[in-house]
A and B are shown apart, each in its own frame.
Chain A
């Protein structure tokens, strides 16, 4: 099993450009998440999904959109990139059952720089 994979690993954008980050998991997990990690801020939840076809906002959703058309994939889109979106983005998945503990499996991250 590859676990959680993310594409691309690195990307440099100019302000105003758009891009999509792809996350894929092969563990048949129901839940998927997108986080950003900034120095001194820890991991912050952007959006998440509790199943195919569902999405919901996390702590810092502004400027991002997501889609979960297939259970194994979770896409994060930036429609008009801003320098404040320079960060490392992590995708995670979990097999969480109702009332169960949410142990998450993380991808390797995407380092995004917006100039």
Chain B
């Protein structure tokens, strides 16, 4: 069955640095992959979607890469700010057509 792995350890970085979060998956190769942001006590919010034929996608300070050979997506936040502190979830569609989510990686940006 499809599995998604995100680094369960929290990522702590200094304001202004680039944060890089990793999402690895096994088995079935998805047609696209998504990233969501979740703040404490709130529901996830969609950020970016990248398709299998796209190597890279950007939105303001966010950048996502998708390597179907390595079965990995990287999520970058450049010039990070304390307001970027949140948990970031990776999600992809499994063979049954259902979206499955990783456990998420908690990012903490210190001023």
Does the CB pair B46–A109 fall under 8 Å? Answer: no
Q: Within 8 Å CB of A90, what residues of B? A: 43-44
Name the segment of B12-20, B59-67, B70-78, B101-109 touching the other chain: B101-109
A99 to B83 Cα, complex, angstroms: 35
Contact of A109 among B8, B42, B51 (CB under 8 A): B42
Q: How large is the interface on A (under 10, 10 to 19, 20 to 34, 35 or more residues)?
A: 20 to 34
A103 to B93 Cα, complex, angstroms: 10
Q: Within 8 Å CB of B49, what residues of A? A: 101, 103
Does the CB pair A109–B43 fall under 8 Å? Answer: yes
Does the CB pair A108–B42 fall under 8 Å? Answer: yes
Does the CB pair A43–B101 fall under 8 Å? Answer: yes
Smallest distance from the beta carbon of A31 to chain B beta carbons, Å? 10
Smallest distance from the beta carbon of B2 to chain A beta carbons, Å? 11
Smallest distance from the beta carbon of A26 to chain B beta carbons, Å? 16
Interface size in chain B (residues, C-beta < 8 A) = 23
The answer to whether A102 has its CB under 8 Å from any CB of chain B is yes
Q: Within 8 Å CB of A43, what residues of B? A: 44, 89, 101
The answer to whether A105 has its CB under 8 Å from any CB of chain B is yes
Q: Within 8 Å CB of B51, what residues of A? A: 101
Does the CB pair B8–A106 fall under 8 Å? Answer: no
Identity of the chain A residue whose Cβ is nearest the Cβ of B46 in the assembled complex: A103
A42 to B104 Cα, complex, angstroms: 7
Q: Within 8 Å CB of A48, what residues of B? A: 98
The answer to whether A112 has its CB under 8 Å from any CB of chain B is no
A102 to B34 Cα, complex, angstroms: 9
Smallest distance from the beta carbon of B40 to chain A beta carbons, Å? 11
The answer to whether B99 has its CB under 8 Å from any CB of chain A is yes
A-B contact pairs, 10 of them (CB 8 A): A4-B43, A41-B103, A43-B44, A43-B89, A45-B99, A48-B98, A101-B51, A102-B99, A106-B45, A109-B43
Chain A residues packing against B (C-beta within 8 Å): 4, 40-43, 45, 48, 58-59, 90, 92, 101-109
